[in-house]
């Protein structure tokens, strides 16, 4: 069905009397994701099916997208992502949700080709005008990525939900997974952390205009360097840091690669107000669930405070790429990220041998 393909909806004069979008949702952005430990428990009970050889990437390592090989030069990358509002402005909500979904395609080293819209809205609470603005925001993000929204599906739901099915194409030789890191690699993070903390502050009216502007800037920045990074021979693995936080997605990379990741916490970039807001108590419930899900897979140095641990597990919506690359490729990786506008990108650690896991020190 393609009933959500067009944002052309009739204007509603009652739009000004509507509730805040975030007030209609029990969670927001990628903080809505099921905790990693519970998700693993759910999937363990899923029925296994034969895996055809054309399926290059499935659910094995919790990667960013599925990949199906068409021929020697082409593979289709398919992913989907959707969530409840992280902000109250409907256009911004649509832009953030669409950017987040498309970035999973970039994280595989692929080029997006088109998207389908996923729309669930409480039609008795939100006007057609507001819903249309959410869809328009998604269309803006897709236009920035150079792709059309070719269809979709919509339902009447209790909470507002928006997202995309995003599809891309990649040469299998340039496919990058979260499972290719090698001992000796250097870790580079493309965006600063703190989106979950900012969203918690926003929901309680404690985020100022500067903070909101920084939050929108980072969450609507497409991870466009992905395909070019994948073309660099020294880039061995990539993933985007989203709902499981830096520690959670780093642990997925470590386990998938059979390596240990050592993260220098002092080098990890943060949004300007992230630490101050976290110290003020603006920490999401998802952060605690993420930390609990790490189990014994992650070790925190004794000098790291509870705030540091919360920041490391803070759920990121439309977060940055985490890249594992050879040491002699670091300069090229940083230069490429900088050319695309990721001026906060930083070297945050390295890949070492040993039992798969993550050490933060």
CA 331 to chain centre: 24
Asked whether 68 and 161 are in contact (CB, 8 A), the reply is no
- Domain boundaries in the chain? 15-173, 177-360
Tokens of 82: 């959707």
What number of CA atoms fall less than 13 Å from residue 209's CA on the CB side?
A: 0
* Topology agreement, domain 15-173 and domain 177-360: no
**How large is the greatest C-alpha to C-alpha distance in the chain, in angstroms?**
62
Q: What mean pLDDT is predicted for residues 256-262?
A: 96
**pLDDT, tens digit, 9 for 90 and up, residues 142-164:** 999 999 999 999 999 999 999 99
Q: Active-site residues: which are they?
A: 30
- Identify the CATH assignment for 177-360 out of 2.30.110.10, 2.60.40.150, 3.90.650.10, 3.40.50.620: 3.90.650.10
- pLDDT attached to residue 10: 36
pTM: 0.90
Q: What mean pLDDT is predicted for residues 278-283?
A: 97
Question: Could you give the CA distance from residue 13 to residue 33 in angstroms, rounded to a whole number?
Answer: 34
**pLDDT, tens digit, 9 for 90 and up, residues 239-250:** 999 999 999 999
User: CATH number of the domain at 15-173, please?
Assistant: 3.30.1330.10
Alpha helix positions (H), 188-342: 195-203, 209-219, 226-230, 245-257, 274-279, 285-294, 306-312, 330-339
- pLDDT attached to residue 63: 79
């Amino acid at each position: 069905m393609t009933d959500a393909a067009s944002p052309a909806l009739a204007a509603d004069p009652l739009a000004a009397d509507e509730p805040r979008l975030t007030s209609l949702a029990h969670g927001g952005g990628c903080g809505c994701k099921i905790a990693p430990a519970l998700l693993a428990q759910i999937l363990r009970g899923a029925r296994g099916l034969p895996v055809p050889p054309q399926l290059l990437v499935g659910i094995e390592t919790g990667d960013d997208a599925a990949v199906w090989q068409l021929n020697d030069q082409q593979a289709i990358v398919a992913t989907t992502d959707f969530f409840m509002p992280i902000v109250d402005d409907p256009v911004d909500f649509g832009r953030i949700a669409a950017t987040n979904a498309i970035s999973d395609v970039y994280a595989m080293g692929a080029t997006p080709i088109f998207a389908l819209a996923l729309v669930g809205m409480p039609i008795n609470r939100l006007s057609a005008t507001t819903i249309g603005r959410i869809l328009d925001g998604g269309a803006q993000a897709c236009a920035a990525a150079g792709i059309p929204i070719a269809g979709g599906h919509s339902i009447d739901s209790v909470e507002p939900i928006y997202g995309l099915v995003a599809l891309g194409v990649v040469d299998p030789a340039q496919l990058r997974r979260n499972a290719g890191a090698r001992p000796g690699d250097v870790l580079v993070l493309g965006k600063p952390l703190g989106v979950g903390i900012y969203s918690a502050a926003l929901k309680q009216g404690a985020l100022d205009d500067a903070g909101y502007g920084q939050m929108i800037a980072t969450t609507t920045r497409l991870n466009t360097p992905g395909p070019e990074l994948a073309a660099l021979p020294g880039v061995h693995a990539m993933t985007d840091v989203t709902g499981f936080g830096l520690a959670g997605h780093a642990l997925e990379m470590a386990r998938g690669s059979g390596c240990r990741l050592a993260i220098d916490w002092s080098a990890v970039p943060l949004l300007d107000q992230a630490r101050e807001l976290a110290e003020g108590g603006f920490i999401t419930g998802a952060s605690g669930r993420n930390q609990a899900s790490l189990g014994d897979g992650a070790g925190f140095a004794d000098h790291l405070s509870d705030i540091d641990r919360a920041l490391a597990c803070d759920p990121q919506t439309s977060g940055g790429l985490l890249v594992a690359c050879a040491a002699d490729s670091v300069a090229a990786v940083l230069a490429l990220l900088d050319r695309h506008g990721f001026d906060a990108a930083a070297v945050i650690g390295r890949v070492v041998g040993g039992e798969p896991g993550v050490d933060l020190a």
